[in-house]
Amino acid sequence: MLPRDRHAATALRSIVTPSLASTIERLAPELELLAAGHHGDPGRVLGCRQEGARSVVVVCLPGAVRARLHGRRDLVRFGSSALFVWAGRAENLPAHYRLAWEDAAGGLHAGFDP
């Protein structure tokens, strides 16, 4: 869950590793189409996908200012869109992972995906 203390929330920053940056760069054309509402098959990009020993998670959270995956992994926002991305070792992610996000008013939300 996200911290309720605004100072703690502000202190948390997403770290974009070289591997995650590479994943976002590779997905950028499809993410741009999704963000613009022009992707012909959003299900091909959204959700969790396996890429070898890694998982890539792409979620759409309209109104979210930040998001976390399974309670401890920050998702990275794609530009100023409602899309958030995470990539990491596949064995560290359960089949039904938990998402938590904060909206612009400071409201906290949580749910399971898929």
Structure confidence by residue, pLDDT tens digits, 19-54: 899 999 999 999 999 999 999 999 999 999 998 889
Quote the tokens at residue 67.
Answer: 């998001």
- Residue 90 — pLDDT band, cuts 50, 70, 90? confident
pLDDT of residue 101: 96
Residue 56 has pLDDT above 50, yes or no: yes
pLDDT of residue 14: 54
Q: How confident is the model at residue 95 (pLDDT cuts 50, 70, 90)?
A: confident
Give the per-residue pLDDT at 110: 96
Domains of the chain: 6-113 (2.60.40.10)
Higher per-residue pLDDT: 12 or 25: 25
Averaged pLDDT, 99-109:
96
Q: Does pLDDT of 102 surpass 90?
A: yes
Residue 18: cis peptide before it, omega within 30 degrees of 0: no
Q: Whole-model pTM?
A: 0.83
